Amino acid sequence: MMQHIVFFSGGMGSWAAAKRVVERHGAANTRLLFMDTRMEDEDLYRFLDEAAANVGAPLIRIAEGRTPWEVFFDRRFLGNSRVDPCSQILKRRLADAWVAEHCDPAATVCHVGIDWTERHRFDRLAQRKLPWVYEAPMCDPPYINRYDILRWMKSEDLAPPRLYGMGFAHNNCGGFCVKAGQGHFANLLRALPERYAWHEENEQALRHHLVKDVSILKGGETLKALREKIEAKGEIDLFEIGGCGCFIDDDTGAA
């Protein structure tokens, strides 16, 4: 009997993928695997429990133990839109190690929440992961978008993670991401100013620690500089959101 592992991030995409997996293969053969970065939004844990109960499959939680900032300090490298040691270590390698220890490649299918809009990225991921079999149920028809998924959740009385309602594109790392752009961080500053301040302090501390002008944002702009620009009503690119690809990115560019 094939076993099905769904990488269950606490976001809407992997919930929808898990629903399709259970519909196709049954809950008895499905497990939901969550990798905790120790920097998640508090409401993610509420959603995780409720979403797993809604899917009806067992939820397995694992964590490497560090936060992304601890990884950056240890690696002496600040993640950015191109290189992401945080998701490489805290998610992709952790998941790979768990699957290698607990599953048989000949009898396991791993499922990710990537949807049809990123099919090309999934195809590269599936190729890289061979001989493990990877599938992306949300790349299959019927093709649905994030609003369809939110309506689907509502129809099942499952409250979405609160960060979506606060304007965030994803529910990872508590609304933070080293791959995010100005628009994303402007939203973090507006919606969760204390959390923004904490990330700003960490970025400044790492710059001092490395004695180097590193920054998450492109062009060497620090979170401190971005905040000051926003407070001074300067011009920023609100459409520069960036994208978190914790599960689809290659490890070749990692620090």
Provide the phi-psi class of 80: left if phi over 0, else alpha when psi is between -120 and 50, else beta. Answer: beta
Count of residues that bind ligand SF4 according to CB under 6 A:
16
- Cis upstream peptide for 105 (omega within 30°): no
Number of other residues whose CB lies within 10 A of the CB of residue 97: 12
Number of other residues whose CB lies within 10 A of the CB of residue 230: 17
Which residue number, 172 or 215, has a Cβ lying nearer to ligand SF4?
172
Can residue 135 be called a binding residue for ligand SF4 (CB under 6 A)? no
CB of 203 to ligand SF4, least distance (A): 12
Distance CA 17, CA 116 (A): 12
* Residues in contact with ligand SF4, shown as a per-residue x/- string from 59 to 98 under the rule CB under 6 A: ---------x----------x----x-xx--xx-------
Q: Name which of residues 104 to 133 contact ligand SF4 (CB under 6 A).
A: none
Can residue 138 be called a binding residue for ligand SF4 (CB under 6 A)? no
* Residues in contact with ligand SF4, shown as a per-residue x/- string from 156 to 175 under the rule CB under 6 A: ----------------xx--
The two structure tokens encoding residue 223: 């979170």
- Do residues 196 and 186 touch, judged by C-beta distance below 8 A? no
Buried b (16+ CB within 10 A) or exposed e, 57-94: bebeeeebebbbbbbbbeeebbbbbebbbbbbbbbbbb
Instruction: Name which position in 114, 139, 246, 254 contacts ligand SF4 (CB under 6 A).
Output: 246
Q: Name which of residues 8 to 47 contact ligand SF4 (CB under 6 A).
A: 37
Which residue number, 121 or 179, has a Cβ lying nearer to ligand SF4?
179
CB of 242 to ligand SF4, least distance (A): 9
Can residue 139 be called a binding residue for ligand SF4 (CB under 6 A)? no
Apex CA 59: angle with CA 252 and CA 101, to 5°?
Answer: 50
Number of other residues whose CB lies within 10 A of the CB of residue 26: 13
Distance CA 4, CA 21 (A): 8
CB of 56 to ligand SF4, least distance (A): 27
Which residue number, 24 or 162, has a Cβ lying nearer to ligand SF4?
162
β-partners of residue 81 are: none
Which residue number, 41 or 84, has a Cβ lying nearer to ligand SF4?
84
| Residue numbers at the binding site for ligand SF4 (CB under 6 A) | 37, 68, 79, 84, 86-87, 90-91, 172-173, 176-179, 244, 246
